[in-house]
Structures are given as structure tokens and as C-alpha cells.
């Protein structure tokens, strides 16, 4: 896996500051970020850097990249891995078995196991109830490989309401033009702001 196009955290932060400002994070909770396909990984890194700079703990639900790949990318970008938790729904599925225990990551057997992902979200939010936390789903588009639009919409609606009730933030990252119109319409109604990533 190659390095992202941009290797400087400050330039990621500058990019995302134009997308989600600290002021926005203070007044809005939920965001749908639509990224160009070739910049999805870079947007993930940029969003995580910006959230950390704003004092947030980040919980990444990944169906796109395995936890160890993301952890390596975040580490090489200078992000604080002690303030990032992972729910990895792709590694066990790809390997056919659950990897050894890791304190920073909860492995889920399959991207289709929404119940287990939901339990992981609930447990992480409870564990960090005393600090500002943001759930980052990477990516809604990848989840559509494994799930119907209807199932995915119900899951995102569940996560969005859980976050609102517990007063936490959430970012749903998706490829622009990668969602069918009905799903996109539903997701837009679940969030406080829809933001198009930089090309």
C-alpha cells in the first residue's frame, strides 16, 4: 500500500479545516462527507487529524482498510494512536479468523454483522463518555458492497440517533456519486451538514 499523496499532517488539517471547522463541530454533531474516489484515504487521514487537533477522541469504524494498515498510516502521519480506537469489520472477514486481541481494536467477523458493530459503538462511547468523541465511518460506500441500501440506511440511522442521544459527533465518509439517490437522500436527512470533499 503506497503512501497518501499528501504526507504532511498540517496540509491535511488545512484541507479539512475548510470542510469541518472547530466552530462547526461545536454547533453540529453529524456530517456526511462526500469524497472524490481517489482521495478517500487522504480525507480519512485529514478528518482524523482535524478531529484530534480539535481535542476529540476518534473511533474509526473501518470496512475499507484493515486496522493495522490504518494504524500504520496514522502513525506515519504523526497522529496520536492513543486517542484513536478502531472497530475493524474487514480483517477477520479477509483472513477467515479473528486476529490476536489488541486493546485499541475491536474485530468484527464480517461487514454484514451490524449488530456486533453497533455493540462496539455503544461500548466505545460508554468507555469514553467523559471526553468529546467522534465516530468516523470509513466508508459508507464500501459497506454497500456487503449490505443492501435499506440495511445500511437503518444502521446509519441507528448510529446517528445513538450519537445524538449520547451527545457525541459522527462523520460518515462516502465516495461522491457512489451512493444511490434514495440512500443519499436518507443520509442527508440524518446529518446536520453534507460536505463535498476537495478534489
CATH, residue 166: 3.40.50.300
Of residues 9 and 152, the one with the higher pLDDT is 152
pTM given for the model: 0.88
- Domain membership of residue 10 (yes or no) is no
Return the pLDDT at 7. Answer: 37
- Domain membership of residue 64 (yes or no) is yes
Return the pLDDT at 24. Answer: 73
Where in the sequence is the domain holding 37, given as residue range(s)? 23-196
Exposed / middle / buried, residue 118 (Cβ in 10 Å: 0-12, 13-18, 19+): middle
- Domain membership of residue 4 (yes or no) is no
Domain tally, the chain: 1
- φ/ψ bin of 78: left (φ > 0), alpha (ψ from -120 to 50), beta (otherwise): left
Q: Is the pLDDT of residue 27 over 60?
A: yes
Amino acid at each position: 500500500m503506497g503512501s497518501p499523496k499528501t504526507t504532511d499532517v498540517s496540509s491535511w488539517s488545512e484541507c479539512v479545516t475548510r470542510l469541518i471547522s472547530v466552530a462547526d463541530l461545536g454547533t453540529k454533531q453529524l456530517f456526511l462527507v462526500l469524497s472524490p474516489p481517489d482521495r478517500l484515504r487522504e480525507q480519512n487521514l485529514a478528518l482524523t487529524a482535524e478531529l484530534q487537533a480539535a481535542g476529540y477522541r476518534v473511533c474509526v469504524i473501518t470496512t475499507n482498510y484493515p486496522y493495522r494498515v490504518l494504524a500504520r498510516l496514522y502513525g506515519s502521519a504523526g497522529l496520536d494512536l492513543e486517542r484513536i480506537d478502531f472497530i475493524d469489520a474487514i480483517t477477520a472477514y479477509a483472513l477467515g479468523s479473528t486476529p490476536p486481541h489488541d486493546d485499541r481494536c475491536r474485530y468484527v467477523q464480517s461487514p454484514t454483522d451490524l449488530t456486533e458493530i453497533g455493540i462496539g459503538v455503544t461500548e466505545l462511547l460508554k468507555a469514553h463518555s467523559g471526553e468529546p468523541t467522534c465516530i468516523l465511518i470509513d466508508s459508507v460506500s464500501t459497506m454497500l458492497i456487503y449490505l443492501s441500501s435499506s440495511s445500511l440506511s437503518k444502521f446509519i440511522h441507528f448510529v446517528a440517533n445513538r450519537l445524538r442521544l449520547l451527545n457525541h459527533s459522527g462523520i460518515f465518509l462516502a465516495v461522491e456519486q457512489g451512493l444511490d439517490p434514495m440512500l443519499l437522500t436518507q443520509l442527508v436527512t440524518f446529518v446536520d451538514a453534507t460536505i463535498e470533499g476537495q478534489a
